[in-house]
Structures are given as structure tokens and as C-alpha cells.
Amino acid sequence: MSAFITVDKEDPLVDEVIKINIKGLQKNQHVTVRAEVIEKGQVFAGSGCFVADDNGTVDISKQPSTCGTYKGVFSMGLFWSMRSSPNMPPGLRLIKNNASSPLVTDITVFLGHLTFEQTYNSNVKPMLQKTIRRWYMARGVQKVRVRSGRIRGTLFLPPGQGPFPGVIDMFGIVGSCVEFRAALLASRGFAALALPYFLYDDLPKNLSELEFEYFMEAIDWLSTHPHVNGNNLGVIGVSKGGELALQMGYYSNKIKSVVSINGAPFFSVIPLKYKGDFIGVSDFDPDNFTETEEGLDVRNTMNCDTENYLPIWERDVHVLLISGQDDKQLKQKFLPNLFKCYPADRKHLCELHVYPGAGHLIEPPYAPLARSTIKYNRGVLGDYGRQRLLWGGETVAHAHAQEDSWRHIIDHFRRTLSSTPQTKEENAANSKL
């Protein structure tokens, strides 16, 4: 019998666990399996080495990888352990800007146990290959470009007429319109607006040109959309986006729920103008960074005492804080200290999850770790913004943080942006994420 590759799900979402089997091998046959993604000309891959069982089968969800980019038993290890291929430069991040196209992955099987680098040796020929497509947009999700007043972005709407709870989604100093998380949120039942705020279309080229009114206008725009329940609005962000999410939850009474992923509990680096005045900024020392072989550790460039934190605990908004404890951009104490600022009678409004070994860029599940990347945005970070930035994270611990935090994020929005209790079916679906 000829060997072949099977996958248990056709067209899965990227946050779903898939099971990959290689069948028809010889008993105890040694093979190497590689998963490879090419996005915008950049090549990322993960690999594992396996031994076929007595039936000539490798079940990646049950059998350990003994070497490669990960070791041990992990159903999705081939995906979250991906790194730049040997012929790619360092400092790359796998990021999907156009969420309406699939993340195409080639699963390749090689004879014998090979190192990751050896799988790219032109003399090594594959014995099997299968292409799988994983999606950010579930079937029926609509994608709508947004140009309204000065608001720009992409709105993702779940199937049906709604009205749906609405979520504004923001990223950090990468700029542009990053769609993939908003598309996933829409696939889970939320009307999600991927909101860029600089380096996109006719938006400002520099953070210093931003006005906070832009974000307040985005809230007003989403709240009046015909397919959105304006009484159930939330906001999520990572890095600078997480910082802005907290500010939006504080300044707008239309926001009921906030998720901040490694976002400072104060305005960092550059203050924003709001109603003609600048609103708070931390003490910022652009020279107080640490150079490492991997990149710049900038945690110590920002300082802020708790008495100068944004007092979001005064607002009736539900807040979920996600903190990576190997974050090299934000001090580890900031979000735990924000949680401590909540008085006992308001602690129910804030939930904190701290992840040892997780870095700054905590994304939805099974995305590969971007421990460091190259940035060129001098307007945000000064001259050292042209260098490689260290985000932090240990591969296995970071993968766990992404999987676990995503469950909490979906659960948080379902609980706080719903006027009716979750059904048993909804709870069961959430537990499978």
C-alpha cells in the first residue's frame, strides 16, 4: 500500500486543532514531517521527526517528535514551532494582512530523521506532500472595506443579519490594517472592525500626528452600524493597540468590555491630543535600552508609577489583561500592578492572566513565535526603530499562552457583550477553542 497523508478537517479555521496522520508506512519507519507556509515571499516552516507505529502510521497528535523545531507530543507543534526557513533573513514575522485568503500550508514527508536545515537540502527528495488551507474567515463571514469620515479599516460581519455584539480590534507599531484577528472574531460571532490608525491609506504616517478623537469616532461609527448591537461594544488590542483599548474603555461610556494584551496602562512614548489637550504620557528615555544579540530590549525606556496609571477601575467596564512575563517591550509589573489598583469591591470588573515564558506579541493560537523582528518606523521609536526589536517569548510557553489566552478572550467577550446567558452549546463550542 502506498503511503498517504490525511487531515481530519477540511478548510479549518486557523484557531482549530487539526489532526495529521501519515499512513501506509512500514512498521517503525523513521520519517520527518515539515509544514511550510509562504506568505508575501517569506518562507516559514516547522518540522518534527517520528517513528511509525506497528500499523505503519504516524499520528502527530499522539506520537512524539524526537527532534526538529519542536519535541514532544503536540497536535499543532508543526505550526506554532515554525521559524524562518534557512534561506530567509532573521527578524521576520508571519502576519496575514488579507484575511479573506487562506493560510496555505504544504505538509511534506521525508524519509529518515532530518534536521530542519536538512529538509531544505536540494539533494533531499520528499516522499509525500499534501496542501492544506486554514482560514481566518469562516464561511458566510462578510468583509467590508470602511471609509467613513476619517475612519478607515475593514469590518467583518458574521453570517446573518444580527445585530451582533461589536468589537474594535487594533495592533501596535506595525501600522497598516491588520485583519486576521478581526476575521477570527467575526468567525466566532462578533462584528469586528480591524481599525488601523497610522501608516494606512490617508491616515497619519506618524503616531505623533494622531488625535484621540479618531478612536472615539470609530466607536460612534460602529455603534450605529445596522448590523451591530450598539449597546454591546468591546475593544481589543495588543501592544500600542492594547494601550489604546484601555484608553477607549476609560473615555467612552459606550465600551462595555476591553481586552489589553501587553498594553501599557498609561499613554506611552507619545501623548495623544484629545479635545485640544494632550492626555498623559509616561517618563520615556529613548536611550535606556539594552542591546542584545537578538535585538533591542526596550522595557526600561518607559516608567510610570501606579498613581499615574489610567484609573480605568473607576469605570463600569469589564477588563481582561493578558501579560507575557518574558515581554521585552513592556515591564512585567505594569499589568499586574494595574490589577492591584482595583479596589476589592470592583475586582470583579478585572481579570488578569499572567503567562511565564510568553513574549510581547501574543496572538491567536498556533501562530509561530516572532521573538524579534526588524522595524523601520523611526517616527515611533527614534533612531533605534531602524534596528531589530526583541519582543521576547520561549517557543513552547508562548504557544501555550496564545492557545489559553484566546479561550479567555472569546469567553470574556461572550460573557460581557451578551444580554443573554450562553447556551450549553455555546459553552461547549467555546471549550473546544
The sign one gets for the Cα dihedral 324, 326, 328, 332 is positive
Residue written as cell 503536540?
74
The answer to whether residue 405 is catalytic is no
Q: How far is CA 50 from CA 56, 84, 114, 131, 383, in A?
A: 11, 22, 10, 20, 46
**Of the listed 360, 398, 400, 412, which one is catalytic?**
360
| Residues 64-82 as b or e (16 or more Cβ within 10 Å = b) | ebeebbbeeebbbbbbbbb
Beta strands in 149-304 (DSSP E): 151-157, 164-170, 191-194, 228-238, 255-261, 272-274, 277-279, 283-284, 290-291, 296-297, 302-303
The answer to whether residue 239 is catalytic is yes
**Of the listed 15, 59, 169, 327, which one is catalytic?**
327
**Of the listed 65, 84, 187, 239, which one is catalytic?**
239
Task: Identify the burial level of 164 via C-beta atoms within 10 angstroms of its C-beta, where 0-12 means exposed, 13-18 middle and 19 or more buried.
Answer: buried
The answer to whether residue 305 is catalytic is no
H-run or E-run covering 428: helix 424-431
**Residue of 274, 325, 279, 331 whose CA lies nearest to 306:** 331
- Residues 311 and 329 sit within 8 Å (Cβ to Cβ): no
Q: 156: how many CB neighbours lie within 10 A of its CB?
A: 28
Q: For 13, which DSSP code? A: B
| Residues 419-428 as b or e (16 or more Cβ within 10 Å = b) | eeeeeeeeee
Residues with a known catalytic role: 239, 327, 360
